[in-house]
Amino acid sequence: MFSESPDDATPDSTARDNHPTPAEPPAPDDVMAALAAYGVTDVAADDEVALRRLLEAHTAGYTLYRLTPAAARRWKARYRIMLSATYLDCQSVAEAYARALLAALGQP
């Protein structure tokens, strides 16, 4: 009865949808330097796909969560990755994969 077609959209709602999302920061330099100590040198700090594939090669499983805005303000992080019996809070997906990979490589 009150269905809204795309033509009925207000200028306000369409203007909000056109804002570009900010780019996520790359993995921190200290994390990448620690990975280099394990021989991981051919991956860029912002290449989340390559970092994810390396992580999947070194761990049985993980869970990556994008935190809600309230949780992000509380914990000062945007993502949480659960790995084994621990979790890591991070600012970007690339950082989450890099930190989890570092944790996986550090385990015997």
What is d(CA 52, CA 76) in angstroms, rounded to the nearest whole number? 23
Angstrom distance (rounded) from CA 71 to CA 76: 8
pLDDT digits (tens, 9 = 90+) for 41-63: 999 999 999 999 999 999 999 99
Over the stretch 75-99, which tens digit does the pLDDT of each residue have? Answer: 999 999 999 889 999 999 999 999 9
Q: Which two tokens stand for residue 39?
A: 């021989």
